[in-house]
Structure 1
Amino acid sequence: MAGKQGYHHGNLPQALVDAGLTLARAGGPGAIGLREVSRQAGVSHNAAYRHYADHHELVAAVAARCMDRLGALMRARTEAVTGPPGAQRAWARLNALGRAYVDFARAEPGWFRTAFTGAGVGAGTEGGEGVQLPADHPFRQLNAALDDLVDAGALPHGRREGAEYAAWSSVHGLAALLVDGPLQHLPESEVRRALDTVLAVVTRGL
């Protein structure tokens, strides 16, 4: 029986999300369907419903995993920035976050699109309201990087409030234009120039 085969691997919810990740990587959020995910996981359609009430719940679970992948790349890139603590390193880490974000979007467009589908987290989460974001969530990493700039004396405290929205919107906008918008066919040299320009404008604005 398909259901017995599925439960044999011991963690059906994980297997369903893994299958959803595979589908999303190739086709984005539109490729994630309960029937196809169940088939790939080797279980019956009804077995999947025991863990995810509907399609939206499954997509949200896959979206969270895609966001985790984005956050992991951003974390790895910032941790690779070395040097003594101070303004120079703080700016370099913020820059690395933005580059990692755009690089992920271009390298994994299916996961990038999915990460922002049903990713229902409120903007007030950092202020103690709403759902608590994971430690490596891009929004939390961005906030931490901006706080580091303040601590290093590179960003005046009076300019810190709300800076995360401007910075994220700028980089996400470029990523979306490169993945799904009119900039998707730019030559690589122009993509690099566009990214350099956006990050420079964010830096000057801060």
Structure 2
Amino acid sequence: MPRTRDAYHHGDLRRALVDAGLAATRAQGTTALALRDVTRQVGVSPNAAYRHFADRKALLSAVAREIQDRMAEQMRARMPAPADAAPRDRARLRLRGVGLGYIAFAVAEPGWFETAFFGSGGAPEGVLHDSHDRLPPPFALLVEELDGMVGAGALSPERRDGAEWACWSAVHGFAELVVHGPLRGQDRERIDRWAERVVDDIISGIV
């Protein structure tokens, strides 16, 4: 039986709405997220949702923030480098993990990838700062590791300027080719090999 609004404790309804939004966008991307459908799935009226989200865009932003958090977590899993490696090599391997992790998330979760940064009709949401005035975690990781490259002596300060845009353009563009473009449906082994080529080439290029 659907839950009524009174059955939710404070905060539970917001969490339930975000979870329903995550499930919808994971399956079909942003077009699947409709506030009325989400509230019906949760078992409350649309009016109940307005206590937490002013409109669909507000819910979509909350869903996108959580996807970005999950994306960054998976990117971090690709970043460990050997403890005995030279600082320059460690910094380069960590940056490499950022790029490969970004692409791997996009390929594995195309619906969420679409939602993470381009959630509202194709417009980039929160590219530099979101409504909570934070850098989106995947982008923050890229910035952090590029700064780490400078600190390790693997990237000059002069070459560091604007490097995040070159890196993001390369990995995001490749991911789009795989998810929505001519590389869609290619063998995963090939995709992984080409992804490594893209990431290695862009790192060599900025260095």
Aligned-pair CA distance for 1:52: 1.1
Distance in 2, Cα, partners of 1:42 & 1:8 = 14
Match of 1:4 in 2: 6
Q: Equivalent residue for 2:145?
A: 145
- TM-score, reference length from structure 2: 0.88
The whole-number CA distance in structure 2 between the counterparts of 1:167 and 1:173 is 10
CA distance in 2, matches of 1:167, 1:158: 16
Cross-structure match for 1:133: 135
User: Hey, what's the Cα distance between the residues in 2 that align with 1:10 and 1:196?
Assistant: 42
Corresponding position: 1:121 with 2:126:
yes
Question: How does 1:7-156 map onto structure 2 within 5 Å?
Answer: 7-8=8-9, 10-78=11-79, 80-84=80-84, 86-116=87-117, 117-118=119-120, 120-123=125-128, 125=129, 131-133=133-135, 137-156=137-156
**1:43 Cα deviation from its structure 2 partner:** 1.4
Q: 1:9: how far off?
A: 7.5
Deviation string, structure 1 residues 43-76 (Cα, Å, up to 9, x no partner) = 1121012211111111111111111111111123
- Cα distance in 1 for partners of 2:199, 2:125 equals 27
Structure 2 residue 176 is matched with structure 1 residue 176: yes
Q: Which runs of 5+ in 2 are unaligned?
A: none
Distance, in Å, in 1 between the alignment partners of 2:164 and 2:82 is 23
Q: How many residues align?
A: 197
Are the structure 2 counterparts of residues 77 and 190 from structure 1 closer, same or farther at C-alpha, using a change threshold of 3 Å?
Answer: closer
The verdict on how the C-alpha distance between 1:120 and 1:51 changes in structure 2, with shifts beyond 3 A counting, is same
Q: How far does residue 10 in structure 1 lie from its aligned partner after superposition? A: 4.9
RMSD: 1.9
State the distance in 2 between where 1:189 and 1:107 align. 13
Output the CA distance in 1 between the equivalents of 2:77 and 2:138: 12
Deviation, structure 1 residue 8:
4.4
Whether the 8 Å CA contact 1:146–1:164 is kept in 2: the answer is: yes
User: Match of 1:147, as an amino acid?
Assistant: D
Cα distance in 2 between the residues matched to 1:188 and 1:12: 39
Moved segments of 4+, more than 4 Å: none
Corresponding residue of 2:198: 198
Q: Distance in 1 between matches of 2:44 and 2:10?
A: 11
Aligned residue for 1:14, secondary structure, equals helix
Query: Residues of 1 paired with 2:157 and 2:94: CA distance?
Result: 18
| Pairwise CA distance, 1:153 | 0.8
Q: Is the 8 A contact 1:4 1:43 kept in 2?
A: no
User: How far off is 1:4 after superposition?
Assistant: 2.3
Distance in 2 between the 1:108 and 1:68 partners? 14
Any gaps of 5 or more consecutive residues in structure 1? none
Give the letter for the 1:33 counterpart.
A
Contact 2:127 2:135 in 1 (8 A): no
What is the CA-CA distance between 1:120 and the residue it aligns to? 2.6
- Matched residues in 1 for 2:49 and 2:11: separation? 14
Q: Which moved more, 1:14-23 or 1:111-120?
A: 111-120
Q: Deviations over 1:2-34 (max 9, x none)?
A: 2223x2475211111011001111111111111
TM-superposed CA distance for 1:188, in Å, is 2.2
